[in-house]
Chains A and B, each alone.
Chain A
Amino acid sequence: MALLEVRDLTVVFQRKGEEPFYAVDGVSFDVEPGQTVGLVGESGCGKSVTSLAIMGLLPKRGAKVTGTVSYDGTDLLKLSDREMRDRRGRDLGMVFQDPLSSLNPVIPIGLQVTEVLERHRGLARKEAMIEAKNLLDKVGIPDPNRRLKEYPHQLSGGMRQRALIAIALACRPKLLIADEPTTALDVTIQAQILTVMKELVQDLGTALVMITHDLGVVAGLCDEVNVLYGGKVVEKAMRHKLFAEPRHPYTHGLLASIPRLDAAPGEKLTPIKGSVADNIPWTQGCAFAPRCPNALDICFTETPAEEEQLGRLLRCHNPVVPGTPAAEEVPV
């Protein structure tokens, strides 16, 4: 059994007098210790909501979460608030996207790190401070003793993100969920942070769920990749397979629309036409169909099922055949 088993996770946002909105629609994946699983997709595909649902951080009112999230055999969705609070920070760590708004601006960094240590590991303040110093040292913050006394605004973006990772790691959680941990950072700082996270997975055997929109980050870090579109996983494969032969037209289109450093000069990008606003609901067919260069008539009438084909899980009626360009130049 895997450490984290997400089965058929569905999150529905319901407002009075409005159609229910399926933010996450039957997502399933497993994470083993020492493994990194990526959730990739563009804004609005439900990747962040998935992470919040796993952590139990969605509001009780308005959001309906169904399915199972089993961590080490217990279903996290069935736990009470109190039980969940014990787990969060101890067993499950989370790193958020924007470190400035997820750190408390009026509390020094040191206190924010020791808070976790005192609450979950029962350390005394003094011991916790020493441990906090070691943690900051481990994530590469120079002069940790001084930094412990400082406030979030006194740290640079990269340092704040490191502090956030230190807090998430304080209790050596077996599972770490990172929601766009490097999106707000510069590339050289991003490289530093990704190196820190890679080492963690290798040295401590932490299971990592990496949520990002950047396929480049995924290519270097994740073992298994789930590509999300409109709340559903449209393609799930091991990373080498996914990048070498993307079969879902959406994955294929995403890769073709990214300018690459090693591309020949003068090469044109092939964008995906339209935008997420053109989606049709999954109940009517394939949400991606209106933007898809491979769309058939059946795509607009029948929802594609998630099937094991071509050595991966794929949700598509007409997958990309390798060798042929999926998309011709589309008028935009």
Chain B
Amino acid sequence: MSETLVSVQDMKVHFPIKRGVLLDRTVGYVYAVDGVDLEIKRGETYGLVGESGCGKSTLGRAMLRLNEPTAGKMVFDGQDFSALKGEELRKMRRRIQMVFQDPLSSLDPRQSVESILIEGLRAHDLDKSKEETGKRLRELLSAVGLPTTALRKYPHEFSGGQRQRIGIARALALNPDLIVADEPVSALDVSVQAQVVNLLEELQEQFGLTYLVIAHDLAVVKHISDRVGVMYLGGLVEEATAADLYAEPLHPYTRALLSAIPVPDPVVEDRRERILLAGDLPSPANPPSGCRFHTRCPWRQATRCDTERPVLREFKPGHKVACHYAEQIRSGEIQPHEVKPILVEEEGISPDIPLVGPASVTEALNP
């Protein structure tokens, strides 16, 4: 058994932008995920962080083939998951389960907890006898800390934290190897968040699970992950162990992101230097040339940054960064300067293409 469980190679997801009533012409693409390589080892927790719109959820979904990737592949336990079809794919899916962000909308309100949990077992022929299934369900509930009386209840009868536990139990039901958790705690209150984070950690120990945790909250990700990948506008900009990343962020974006997180300690808050980023995230339909971050980067240099896209390279063992000038920034040779915010264009469609297609069938037929 190899050490690597998941390997993602040059994954790309481009969503077409369609215009026009009849002809549905593609006038551009949203480059949601644009060339990501990553590896997840057996038994580890890989955290994927980034702000909204950076493509982290799309990447997670593309790995599970909930969105078909445009290019690239994912190798799961030595098998090319991207090439599987039909029944083979369905069977493989047992081993990769997902926990969603909003526990209420990801549970069917008209299904009892028992029926929610049993559905997956049935689909994969694991519901052999009544007693065995009953035993399995009780095991699952006790694993996630719910009473067995929960089986007959419906999702609306539970609190947010309990609903998320049901979602986790559903993912666990099939004994998966990998659980992809997309913002598993962001919809929960702080005091309940900690319960679910601890639960995820305990389950990992108990069942030897591998996690891919996707979240925007860096503090949560740092807490739960062994390794962390930081995404910006469709690409990974930095990857390191959680401790390394927070001790010594190398990429300017990671630095800014870390400095922006409020810490619940006034002494720390008063001392901190904030790196304020100017402006907004550029549109992924019209990503900047060269380094995607150069439009907002306080360390931007005159050469290379806007022409050449940096690749994710090994800076030191286990710490990768995608920045041309990581060494100079680290040594202090390059100092940050002020950045003027530039206007972000919402759509990345070139002005040559008319925005509106034919308004009617007659117009389309008689141009």
Please report A residues at the B interface, Cβ cutoff 8 Å.
42-43, 140, 142-143, 146, 154, 156-159, 186-192, 194-195, 213-220, 239-240, 243-244, 253-263, 265, 267-273, 275-277, 331-332
Chain A residues near B277 (CB, 8 Å)? 188, 191-192
Closest A-chain residue to B241, C-beta based? Answer: A265
In chain A, what residue has the closest Cβ to B189? A42
Q: Which residues of A contact B190 (CB under 8 A)?
A: 42, 213, 215, 254, 257-258
| Residues of A contacting B191 in the complex (Cβ-Cβ under 8 angstroms) | 42, 253-254, 257, 271-272, 275
**B267 cross-chain contacts in A, Cβ below 8 A:** 240, 243-244
Q: Does B126 contact A (CB under 8 A)?
A: no
User: Is the Cβ of B194 less than 8 Å from the Cβ of A270?
Assistant: yes
Q: Find out whether the CB atom of B159 lies under 8 angstroms from the CB atom of A187.
A: no
B189 touches A43 (CB 8 A): yes
A219 touches B193 (CB 8 A): no
B51 to chain A: which residues have CB within 8 Å?
186-189
Q: Are A275 and B160 touching (Cβ within 8 A)?
A: yes
- What are 6 A-B contacts defined by CB distance under 8 Å? A186-B281, A219-B266, A219-B269, A220-B262, A258-B194, A259-B219
Report whether B197 and A213 are in contact in the complex, using a CB–CB cutoff of 8 Å.
no
List of A residues within 8 angstroms of B281 by Cβ: 156, 186
Q: Given A140-B341, A187-B216, 13 other A-B contacts at CB below 8 A?
A: A194-B262, A218-B264, A220-B266, A239-B266, A240-B266, A259-B194, A260-B264, A263-B223, A268-B201, A271-B195, A273-B195, A275-B162, A276-B189
CB distance from B148 to the nearest CB of A (A): 16
The chain A residue sitting closest to B280, CB to CB, is A156
B269 lies within 8 A of A332 (CB): no
Task: Evaluate whether A191 and B274 lie within 8 angstroms (CB atoms) in the complex, with A271-B192, A275-B161 already known.
Answer: yes
> Which A-chain residue is minimally distant from B259 (CB atoms)?
A191
B261 at the interface (CB under 8 A from A): yes
B51, B159, B190, most chain A CB atoms within 10 A:
B190
Q: A257 to B342, alpha carbons, bound, how many Å? A: 39
With A and B bound together, what is the CA distance between A143 and B280 in angstroms?
A: 13
Minimum Cβ distance to chain B for residue A305 (Å): 24
Measured in the bound complex, the distance between the Cα atoms of B263 and A195 in whole Å is 15
Contact of B262 with A269 in the complex, beta carbons under 8 Å? no
- B242 in contact (CB, < 8 A): yes
Find the A residue at minimum CB distance from B51: A186
**In whole Å, how far is A170's beta carbon from the nearest beta carbon of chain B?**
22
Please report the C-alpha to C-alpha distance between residue A332 and residue B266 in the assembled complex, in whole angstroms. Answer: 30
Enumerate chain A residues within 8 angstroms of B274, measured Cβ to Cβ. 191, 195
Contact B199 A261 (CB under 8 A): no
Q: What residues on B are CB-neighbors of A142 within 8 Å? A: 279, 340-343
Q: Are B197 and A259 in contact (CB under 8 A)?
A: yes
Cβ A243 vs Cβ B264 within 8 A? yes
The one of B220, B259, B268, B342 in contact with A259, judged by C-beta atoms closer than 8 angstroms, is: B220
| Chain A residues with CB below 8 A from B161, complex form | 275
The residue that A332 contacts in the complex, of B198, B223, B279, B343, with Cβ under 8 A, is: B198
B280: which of A189, A190, A219 is its contact (CB, 8 Å)? Answer: A189
> In the assembled complex, how far is the CB of residue A101 from the closest CB belonging to chain B, in whole angstroms?
17
When chains A and B are docked, how far (Å) is the Cα of A143 from the Cα of B258? Answer: 28
Chain B residues lying within 8 Å of A265, measured Cβ to Cβ, are: 242-243
**With the chains together, A159 CA to B268 CA distance in Å?**
28
Complex CA gap A261/B223 in Å reads 8
Which residues of chain A are within 8 angstroms of B195 by Cβ–Cβ distance? Answer: 271, 273, 332
Q: How far is the CA of A141 from the CA of B193 in the complex (A)?
A: 34
Instruction: Find out whether the CB atom of B189 lies under 8 angstroms from the CB atom of A213.
Output: yes
Among A220, A239, A261, A269, which residue has its beta carbon within 8 angstroms of that of B258?
A: A261
* Complex contact B341–A154 (CB within 8 A): no
Q: Is B218 positioned at the interface, with any CB of A under 8 Å from its CB? A: yes
B268 nearest in chain A by CB position: A262
User: A261 near B242 (CB under 8 angstroms)?
Assistant: no
Q: By the criterion CB–CB under 8 Å, are B263 and A261 in contact?
A: yes
Query: A187 touching B257 by the CB < 8 A rule?
Result: yes
Query: Which residue of chain B is the closest to A255 with respect to CB atoms?
Result: B264
Chain A contacts for B160, CB-based, 8 A: 275
Partner of A214, one of B262, B344, B346: B262
Q: Which residues of A contact B280 (CB under 8 A)?
A: 156, 158-159, 189
Query: A263–B195 Cα gap in the complex (Å)?
Result: 18
CB distance from A115 to the nearest CB of B (A): 25
CA distance A42 to B188 in the complex (A): 10
Bound: A267/B242 CA distance, A:
13
- Whether B192 lies near A275 (C-beta < 8 A) is yes
Complex Cα distance, B267 from A331, in Å, reads: 32
Contacts of B340 in A (CB 8 A): 142
